Amino acid sequence: MCVSAERLNAEDPEFYQSHGTLFLWSLCPTVSGGPDLDEPLVTDRPDFTEAAVTVGKGVSQLEFGYTYTSTTDGTDSVESHSFGEALLRYGILEDWLEFRIAVFPVQELTVFEGTSNSTAGHEDLYTGFKLALTPQAGLLPEMALIPQMNIPTGSKAFTVDKVEPGLNWIYAWELNDFISTAGSTQGNRRIDVTTGKAYLEMAQSWTVAYSLSEALGAYTEWFALIPSGAENVHTQHYFNGGFTWLINNNMQFDIRAGVGLNHAADNYFLGTGLSIRFP
């Protein structure tokens, strides 16, 4: 059924609510987008690429986990433990809009010229909004946009003392019942901690997800962090993969591992987590 122009004006918002996205690719949509609470939850973790769907109006989703990261350069090394990684997603106003907030407690052990030092605290607060833009329509992707920022609330050892705003664009395709793919393009303000100067960090990712059974999923992914205008920060490339296990429609367990692909990247990282939806 096609949609009349009259239904697209501001006096008839029910049309947009029923499709769960802010926009549609066509006035004759064959499928609707947005969240479906009768289906398993869709999570942002464990990969780098965020999901292109929101949680739904009035729905809360908590995603948390742990990541171990290791980097060595000769006899020097850095090991970090990220505990909690709690991301709260909450649907507000409409199905296509969610509020997001996250905090990352961390412990870091450094060895430099034979001297070791351990530091614990938390990183700057992350917050933002996810807007579900479009559902998938054939070759046209499901898309979302996340205006986001880091707010300088972190511990002295881990804060950059300045606001870091950014924008994350996500695009995704379900190819068939077995495989889906997605990518993301980000631009974020970052601070070079050695100079205190701001620079632009672009982030690009591509992920492929596999449905191995009704409960078991897997993914493989490449992502890169690409600084522009930084004096002491260099491009980092990573490859990672992992598995997800759907405990029930509202709970999912995950594990992941990744490696750095160039000298500037961390050597490797390992992680696990749990996501819970509260409809």
Query: Please, what are the averages of pLDDT over each run of 10 residues along the chain (279 residues)?
Result: 49 56 74 78 97 96 97 87 95 96 93 83 96 94 98 93 97 96 98 90 98 97 95 94 98 98 96 97
User: What is the reported pLDDT for 13?
Assistant: 52
Whose structure tokens read 């942002």?
44
CA separation for the pair 214, 211 (Å, rounded):
7
User: What is the reported pLDDT for 1?
Assistant: 46
User: What is the reported pLDDT for 12?
Assistant: 54
What residue ranges define each of the domains in the chain, with the CATH number in brackets? 35-278 (2.40.160.40)
